[in-house]
């Protein structure tokens, strides 16, 4: 998933997300035949924009929820932050690295 990804959910009893619910990633494929009406503030002018069209892609079932302690939450957050920092440093290392290689100097004739 990427930021601003559209998701669709199926709910279990009582409109809760829980074991057995599913999350579906929706992919934008263009504009649909439906439109969204918009009123421009201050002018009372009405315009309509085509609404985006989405198709379902990956479906992920939600598993069992397990209670966790605050210490476990803190550990997971710290691990995620460390992994993100390591990935950032890895990308930066490849981009910012100075590469050197040996070369033979040309023979000088005097």
Residue 13 shares a structural domain with residue 46: yes
Angle at 105 between CA 101 and CA 110, to 5 degrees: 170
Asked whether residue 105 is assigned to any structural domain, the reply reads no
Half-sphere exposure of 75 (CA within 13 A, CB side): 5
Asked whether residue 101 is assigned to any structural domain, the reply reads no
pTM score above 0.85: no
What pLDDT shows up at residue 87?
Answer: 77
Average pLDDT over every residue of 68-91? 84
Asked whether residue 92 is assigned to any structural domain, the reply reads yes
What pLDDT shows up at residue 71?
Answer: 93
Residues 95-108 pLDDT 10s: 666 667 788 878 87
Determine the structural domain holding residue 84 and report its residue range.
67-96
Residues 18-67 pLDDT 10s: 888 888 888 877 766 777 777 877 777 888 877 778 888 889 888 888 88
Asked whether residue 109 is assigned to any structural domain, the reply reads no
CA distance 73 to 66: 12
CA distance 49 to 9: 25
Residue 25 shares a structural domain with residue 71: no
């Amino acid at each position: 998933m990427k930021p601003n990804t559209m998701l669709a959910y199926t709910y279990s009893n009582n409109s809760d997300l829980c074991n057995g619910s599913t999350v579906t990633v929706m992919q934008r494929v263009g504009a649909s035949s439906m439109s969204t009406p918009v009123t421009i503030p201050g002018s009372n002018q009405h315009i309509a924009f085509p609404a985006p069209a989405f198709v379902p892609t990956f479906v992920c079932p939600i598993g069992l929820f397990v209670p966790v302690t605050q210490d476990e939450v803190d550990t997971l957050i710290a691990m995620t932050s460390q992994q993100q920092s390591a990935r950032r440093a890895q990308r930066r290392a490849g981009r910012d690295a100075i590469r050197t290689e040996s070369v033979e100097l040309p023979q000088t004739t005097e």
